[in-house]
Structures are given as C-alpha cells and as structure tokens.
Chains A and B, each alone.
Chain A
Amino acid sequence: MRDRNPRQLEPDKPAVLILSDGAVEEELINPILWGLEEEGIPSEFRETVAQNGESISKKAAYQSLLGVGIGINERGSTISLHHRDLLDEKPLFILSGEDRFSEQLRILGTNAARLVKGEPLVFYDQPAGRSKSGSSNPSPQIQLDQLAKIIAAAVIELLPVFPFAGESP
C-alpha cells in the first residue's frame, strides 16, 4: 500500500501535484511524498495519460494551486520538478536513469516543498552544511544577460560622478 500522510488534505486544496504518465511503482512515489511531508507541505498524487509532446511536470505545476508540480514520465524514466512560471521545456530539476534512487527522490520532494516555502533548496552534491565553493558560482543567465545590462546602465549613470567606480576601499 502507498504510505500516505495520515493528515493528508482533501483534493482541490492547495497542494504540490504529482502526476504520473500511467502507473508507476510505489518505491518511486513514496520518497517524494515523504520529502514534502517532512517539510510540512501537502501533496497530491494522480495518474494521468500524457498527450503527445506534452510536458507532464508543467501540467502538474499548472494544475497545482501552489504552482509547483512533479511529473513522472512513462514508467518513471524521467522525473522532473516544475514551476508554473518556468518555460515548458525548462523544468527546475530533472532526474533520470541512475539518479532516481530513493535519496535523490526524497530531495526532489523536499525541494518541491521548499520552492513553495521560499526556502533555500537542497542539492545532492552538497547535502547539509556549508558550501564554501558556492561563493563563486553565479548563474550563467544572470551573469551574462541581466548583469551585463545592469552594470552597463549603472556605469553609464555613475560615470560622470565617479569615473573609477568599483575599486575596493
């Protein structure tokens, strides 16, 4: 039997929605549900049939009142975490092949909950604790597109006042 949180909420209440394309094993679903439960965020699991080319995780995110969904593809070949605001083809995390062991699945559930709560996410490569190397690892998107524009704008604005802005004290 699927182990369900005894205090599970009714359907159509705010919850992270987990959709699977057809039936999948319990071993795949349960760790995800536990990850969510430990973080105190309600979840809802349903089976569905994917339309051609449809992103099932995106569909789950859309249908979730919390805007966060997890999609499990055919027989669990890939599992992805999606957010309503993200593009269809760009889920936040994708697990596939050998990534799908229990610990990784539970982290996926934890992260789905934390995405709802706005708390820092957990990464498998740096489980708990400190991430000293994380200091110089900014997102490529921010770095290239956004930041260049922001800095350029700031520099143009500041240039007449401080011609050499940006040096350390």
Chain B
Amino acid sequence: MALIAGVDIGNNSTEVAIAELATDGKPHFLASSLVRTVGIKGTLQNVLGVIEALDLALTSVKLLRKDLSLVLLNEATPVIGDVAMETITETVITESAMIGHNPSTPGGEGLGLGTTIRLAELQDAAPERKWIAIIPGTMDFQEAAAVLNRAGSAGLQVAAGIAQKDDAVLINNRLYSPIPIVDEVVHIDRIPVGMPAAVEVAGPGRSIEKLSNPYDIATLFDLNAEETRSVVPVARALMGTRSAVVIKTPKGDIEERRIAAGKITLIGQHRKEEIPVEEGAEAIMEKVTAVCPLVEIQAEPGTHVGGMFEHVRKVMAELTDQPVGEISVQDILAVDTLKPQQVLGSLAGEYALGNAVGLAAMVKTHKLPMQRLARKLEEEIMVPVAVGGIEAEMAIRGALTTPGTGPPLAILDLGGGSTDASLINEAGEIKSTHLAGAGDMVTLLIDTELGLEDRELAENIKRFPLAKVESLFHMRHENGTVQFFQEPLDPRLFGRVVVMAENGPIPLDIREQPAKIAAVRREAKQKVFIKNGLRALERVAPAGNIRLISFLVMVGGSALDFEIPKMLSDALLDYGVVTGRANVRSQEGPRNAVATGLVLAHAEMERN
C-alpha cells in the first residue's frame, strides 16, 4: 500500500490531494488542502507553499511527511498575463468656460443669466444689466447675504451666485429674493470677470435641463451653428448634474482631444496588420480575428501597452531562464471602457468621461522549469518527487470525477491572468487553449470606470457583493435583504455604499447608488469573463461549435464567485450545454481538480 500526494501549483493557490493506493491500484482519497501560492508559479519559492499545503493535509489525517511514498507535481501551464489601460480621449478647457458639478447642497432653484462680477465690485455696477455674483471663500455668508440684499434694495439685478465655500443654502436663506447659487467651486479665482454666464440649479431629485442641452445654451448665449457645435462637450459633461455654471469666454474653448496611444502590430501565420490603439477595442479585436492564427503581437515602445508587453516578457524570461528576445506575446484582449477624468483647466474639479481601451496580454513558453522545483522539493521533504502530466489533462481527469458528467466535456478556468479552456472528446483526445484577459482585467475595468485609482479596492468590489448602510444599526444588501446589527456600526460607514469584504465592510467614497456600482461590476465581468469564456470554448469545441459540447464544468477560484457561474450559465443556455460548477470527487467543489487528476493518472499507470 502506498501513500501518494498530488500537488497543483497555480497562480494564486497551491492545492494538495492525498490518497492511498490499494493493492489493486485503486486510489482511496484521504485528505486535501489549499494554501496561497508562495512566489510566481514555477519559481523555487513555490516549495514553501507546497510544504505548507502537504503538512496541512497530512496533519488532518494524522500522517507525517515520511509516510508519503511519492509526491506528484503538475506540469504547470507556462502562461502569464498582464493588463494595461490606455486613455484615448480627454476633455481640455482653454480659458475656463464651464463648471458642472454636484455640490451636495446648492442654493435656490432655477436659471439665472447675467454678467460675472466680483461681489466686492457689485455696488458700483450698472443697474440696467443683470449680474452674476462671484462670492469668494474669504467672505462670511452673512456678509455675502447682506451685500446681495443691499444691492437688491439699490435696484441692482443679481440673477445668480457662484460661491467658493459650502454656503449656498445659508446665503440663499438670508436673501429677500432667492436666487440660484452654485457652491463649492474650488478655483473661484479662475472665473473670468465681465463675461456672460448662466447658472442653473435644479430642484431636489431633478437634474438641470437648460445647460445640458446644446440648443438651450445656444439660445441663452446667442450662438451660431458653428459655435453650437463646439459647446456639445460642455452640454454632455453637464448632463445629469443638479447644478451648473456655463461662462462664455471670447477665446474660451472646450475640446475633446484624441490622444495618440501607440500602435499594435499583429503578426499572424499568413498576414501582418498594424493598428493604432486609439481606434478602439472593436477595431483591434476585428483585426485580431482577421489575422488569426496569431503568432506574435508587438506594441510600440514608450506607451503603456508597450511597457506592459515588456513587463510580461521580462517576467517570463526570468522565470524560464531564456533571453527576452525569444519570448513573445501571443494573445491580446481589448475592451472599450469609459474613464472619469479630471477636466484640464477645470474650476471645481469637474470630471468628464474619457474613452479608454483596456488591454490584456499573454505570453506562453514551452515549459516552466518544474524539474528544478521538483529536485528542490525532494531535498526539502526527503520524499521522491515526480513531475506528472500536463495541467489541462490532469484538470479534465479531476473534473470528470464530478457526478453527472461525461465526454465530450469541456472545462473552463477563469483565472487571474488568463482564461483557459480544455475539451476531452469521446475518444479521450484532449485539446486546450489559453487566452489573454481574465480576473485582473476585470479588476482594472472596475478600477477605471469607477475612477477609484485603488486596485485593491477594485479587487474587493469584484469579489464581494455591495450593501448600503442605511442606519447606525442596519444595512441593506444589494439583493434587497436587510441585515440588523446589535452594536452600532462605525460612523464612517454610515450612509455609504460598502463592499462586504472578508474582513468587514469597506466604505466606498463614491456617491453612486449600489445598483450603478453593481452594474459596472457585472458589465466588466460580462465584457471579459463571458466574452473570453465563449472565445476560449469556440477554440476547443469540435468544429469550433459550442453546441457540440455536452458538458461544461467550471473549475478554479472564479467558479466560487457569487455571480460568474450564473452569468456564464445564462450565456450558454442558448447552446444547450449543461453548465455548472465542478464537484470534484463529489466533495471538493470546483477546487482540487488538477491535484486529484495527478493521483488518478498515476494510479491508472500503476494498474497497467
């Protein structure tokens, strides 16, 4: 009787399955374990994680390392991926021309049209014109209200106000006749004086109507057709806000500029194509399909994409001890996305949505140096270590232990850096593919679209559902259920949208409703996981037809995600494929497929 262990070293986790081989060669599984992978997959650092995982599994059944007669390592797939974002449009304001922002409490309501003037100069202003008062933060709101009231009594017409501090309601409450006031305009000193301007404040629960419509702006400022065309970016940027200011400056200009983001060169077996990144994801992916099968992809140095390509190639070169020149990027996934960007030349930190393209790249080499790792492990644990079969093959074997499955069976592993699919047909032949773009890409898209600039937080938003803290004692989860707490919640969580992460709720500094944030998250998963899942399945399916796959099981960590299995199942419903999460050995769920497969393959070999 022999005790053997199958070890699967993945990008994120290291998994172990321990089994006893009976005299008839049948494996009897005793224990399994999972730990975080130490170091990059394929490096000697992995040994630490492997030992930890082995010990964890062994102690659970009161066995020791020396009881093992053989440890089997997987021939890990030599694939690494990375992601980058290229912004391709930006909004630039030359000479301040607009302010569109959402201070939480603007004052008054309605539209005011007039000429900008500093509050201090109001007393000397002409009575026959309409004025828009600029109220600096240095002036107390009581004083500001008094000045405005005095001006009103003296017969001056003040149509609206623009305030620097959060004082709009306070000022407005003290006026004899209320006017719309926009506040929290940080760079108030940048507002040009003596220029025609319009201020609009909408009522609670509504958004501005006039200043978000190019023709209303044209009406207010008497613009010709050409000028109206140029205010479109202004109107677009102001849509949906509760208050806004538009100022007409003689040389003022707002333009949406395209940024050159470098070129990508796609080299296929039969043809070669070049495409500038700023043409967008759709154009890039079209070219990718046209050039397929791809041999190599190059990116222009000096761009984000170029930098990212260099990085993955370098990591792989170091890992496999090969010169960088011999490593090439073999697949890319491009996704269009919107990126909230601070408007250049803005007055109150306004944001406009710029277009961006997210790119994921993947490199693949022939083999990772697993033998080196095996020898090191052998030295450390004093048990014979062997490198067993190919990862995809082992994963399929393990996945087939899921009750209710049979060939033709496909497995799909949506990982961090790559999307992997394999298929076994009735004849037992295995086909597999690795595509660029997976979990890390989803994280990048969430980070970009929500303007977080915090990868870790984006990762948490990807992995966990949202909730809104509605009182000091309860929160409403995104599915509508309410959870009550015995102890008051942290005041920093109050009124906020939170991510229900492992270590407790994390407050988000975003004013969007949970439904909007959840929509961004789901769309990112749809654009990457689902699209790439289908792309991968098409590559392995018989005759490229997904309908000819009978069973699809999801393996790996992403199968445990709280919404991906449903999204994938929805997408595959039309193809008539039985889709679900693996349940390896009827008990491991989507985990441990490769480790289990290693043991099974070895046992079969012993029997023959």
- 15 A-B pairs within 8 Å (CB atoms) are namely A38-B169, A114-B495, A120-B494, A123-B492, A132-B453, A134-B509, A137-B490, A139-B490, A141-B487, A145-B487, A162-B560, A165-B589, A167-B591, A169-B439, A169-B557
* B281 interface residue (CB < 8 Å to A): no
Tell me if A139 and B173 are in contact (CB < 8 A).
no
Chain B residues closer than 8 Å to A93, beta-carbon distance:
491
* B230 interface residue (CB < 8 Å to A): no
* B478 interface residue (CB < 8 Å to A): no
Tell me if A167 and B504 are in contact (CB < 8 A).
no
Kindly count the residue-residue contacts between A and B in the assembled complex, taking CB atoms under 8 Å apart. 151
- B498 nearest in chain A by CB position: A138
Q: Mark A125-165 against chain B: 1 for CB-CB distance below 8 A, else 0.
A: 00010111011111101110111000100000000111111
- A106 nearest in chain B by CB position: B166
Tell me if A38 and B105 are in contact (CB < 8 A).
yes
- B510 nearest in chain A by CB position: A130
Chain A residues closer than 8 Å to B454, beta-carbon distance:
132, 135
* A22 interface residue (CB < 8 Å to B): no
- Please report B residues at the A interface, Cβ cutoff 8 Å: 12-13, 32, 34, 104-105, 141-142, 166-170, 173-174, 184, 414-416, 438-439, 453-454, 456-457, 459-460, 463, 470-473, 485-496, 502-507, 509, 556-561, 564, 587-592
- Please report A residues at the B interface, Cβ cutoff 8 Å: 3, 5-7, 34, 37-40, 83, 85-86, 90, 92-93, 114-115, 117-121, 123, 128, 130-132, 134-139, 141-143, 145-147, 151, 160-169
Distance in angstroms from B143 CB to nearest chain A CB is: 12
Distance in angstroms from A43 CB to nearest chain B CB is: 13
Distance in angstroms from A85 CB to nearest chain B CB is: 6
The one of B463, B473, B505 that contacts A138, using a Cβ cutoff of 8 Å: B505
Chain B residues closer than 8 Å to A136, beta-carbon distance:
503, 506
- Give the docked Cα–Cα distance between A134 and B493 (Å): 10
Tell me if A86 and B170 are in contact (CB < 8 A).
no
Chain B residues closer than 8 Å to A143, beta-carbon distance:
503-504
Tell me if B490 and A138 are in contact (CB < 8 A).
yes
- Give the docked Cα–Cα distance between A39 and B453 (Å): 29
Chain B residues closer than 8 Å to A164, beta-carbon distance:
34, 588-589, 591-592
Known: A38-B167, A118-B495, A169-B556. A6 touches B509 (CB 8 A): no
Chain A residues closer than 8 Å to B416, beta-carbon distance:
168-169
Which of B32, B453, B494, B559 has most chain A Cβ within 10 Å? Answer: B494
Tell me if A163 and B589 are in contact (CB < 8 A).
yes
Chain B residues closer than 8 Å to A165, beta-carbon distance:
560, 589
Distance in angstroms from B61 CB to nearest chain A CB is: 14
Tell me if A142 and B487 are in contact (CB < 8 A).
yes
Which of B459, B470, B492 has most chain A Cβ within 10 Å? Answer: B492
- Give the docked Cα–Cα distance between A92 and B490 (Å): 9
Tell me if B456 and A135 are in contact (CB < 8 A).
yes
Tell me if A142 and B485 are in contact (CB < 8 A).
yes
- A169 nearest in chain B by CB position: B558
Chain A residues closer than 8 Å to B463, beta-carbon distance:
168-169
Chain B residues closer than 8 Å to A37, beta-carbon distance:
169-170, 173
Chain A residues closer than 8 Å to B32, beta-carbon distance:
163
The one of B439, B507, B564 that contacts A134, using a Cβ cutoff of 8 Å: B507
Chain A residues closer than 8 Å to B487, beta-carbon distance:
141-142, 145-146
Distance in angstroms from A108 CB to nearest chain B CB is: 12
Chain A residues closer than 8 Å to B561, beta-carbon distance:
169
The one of B13, B471, B489 that contacts A142, using a Cβ cutoff of 8 Å: B489
Tell me if A139 and B34 are in contact (CB < 8 A).
no
Tell me if B415 and A169 are in contact (CB < 8 A).
yes
The one of A86, A134, A142, A167 that contacts B12, using a Cβ cutoff of 8 Å: A167
Known: A6-B174, A134-B507, A169-B557. A38 touches B166 (CB 8 A): yes
Tell me if A3 and B589 are in contact (CB < 8 A).
no
Tell me if B34 and A167 are in contact (CB < 8 A).
yes
Tell me if A145 and B490 are in contact (CB < 8 A).
no
- Give the docked Cα–Cα distance between A90 and B490 (Å): 12
- Give the docked Cα–Cα distance between A136 and B169 (Å): 34
- Give the docked Cα–Cα distance between A163 and B489 (Å): 31
Distance in angstroms from B574 CB to nearest chain A CB is: 24
Chain B residues closer than 8 Å to A142, beta-carbon distance:
485, 487, 489-490, 504-505
Distance in angstroms from B403 CB to nearest chain A CB is: 13
Tell me if B502 and A166 are in contact (CB < 8 A).
yes
Chain B residues closer than 8 Å to A85, beta-carbon distance:
471-473, 488
- B590 nearest in chain A by CB position: A162
- Give the docked Cα–Cα distance between A147 and B473 (Å): 14
Closest 3 CB pairs of A and B: A169-B558, A139-B490, A138-B504
Tell me if B504 and A147 are in contact (CB < 8 A).
yes
The one of A34, A114, A146 that contacts B486, using a Cβ cutoff of 8 Å: A146
Known: A130-B509, A168-B439. A118 touches B414 (CB 8 A): no
Tell me if B491 and A121 are in contact (CB < 8 A).
yes
Tell me if B494 and A169 are in contact (CB < 8 A).
no
Tell me if B491 and A141 are in contact (CB < 8 A).
no
- Give the docked Cα–Cα distance between A143 and B506 (Å): 11
Tell me if A141 and B457 are in contact (CB < 8 A).
no
- Give the docked Cα–Cα distance between A139 and B503 (Å): 10
Distance in angstroms from A104 CB to nearest chain B CB is: 15
- Give the docked Cα–Cα distance between A138 and B501 (Å): 10
Tell me if B494 and A83 are in contact (CB < 8 A).
no
- Give the docked Cα–Cα distance between A136 and B509 (Å): 13
- Give the docked Cα–Cα distance between A117 and B495 (Å): 8
- A129 nearest in chain B by CB position: B509
Distance in angstroms from A146 CB to nearest chain B CB is: 6
